[in-house]
Amino acid sequence: MKKDNETSKDTVSQSRRRLVKNAVVAAPVILTLPSGAAAATASAFQCIARDQAVADADPPPELVSAPDGWVRSETNCTTTTDADGNTILQETGDPNDPLCYKLVRFDLEGNIVSTGGGPVTPSCYASFG
């Protein structure tokens, strides 16, 4: 007949075996979880590429008098009219001139660029900006 001390040791040993067995089964699952940062970067890249493809198909104007569906920065402009009666905005940067909104361009990594790149929508910008 076993003593209480031996019974208790057997119970502890069985518990340890169960713990090790479960840990060995769960370890591969834990190690194969995708990185949240990698998934977010891939999602932002796809968003930027999609918005730039839309803009390539139907290019938005560089300057507008009111915010629209693209990320823009505030600046100041003068307004003129061409021979056909179309309104033309020209950026002046003079704070005495009325506000207008200039298109902001981004590269595929989400950096603001002065040349190249393309525009993005505010919802896309929220995913990486």
Q: Given this model, what pLDDT does residue 68 score?
A: 94
Beta strands in the chain (DSSP E): 63-64, 72-81, 87-91, 99-103, 105-106, 112-113
Q: How many CB atoms lie under 10 A from the CB of residue 64?
A: 16
For residues 19-35, give the mean pLDDT.
Answer: 59
Mean pLDDT, the chain, whole residue set: 83
Q: Which pLDDT tens digit goes with each residue over 75-121? A: 999 999 999 999 999 999 899 999 999 999 999 888 999 888 899 99
Q: Given this model, what pLDDT does residue 120 score?
A: 94
Residue 66 to residues 3, 78, 99: CA-CA distances in angstroms? Answer: 86, 14, 9
Paired tokens of 115: 């040349």
Please state the pTM of the whole predicted model: 0.65
Residue 38 to residues 48, 72, 103, 117: CA-CA distances in angstroms? Answer: 15, 27, 28, 22
Q: Which pLDDT tens digit goes with each residue over 3-17? A: 555 666 677 677 777
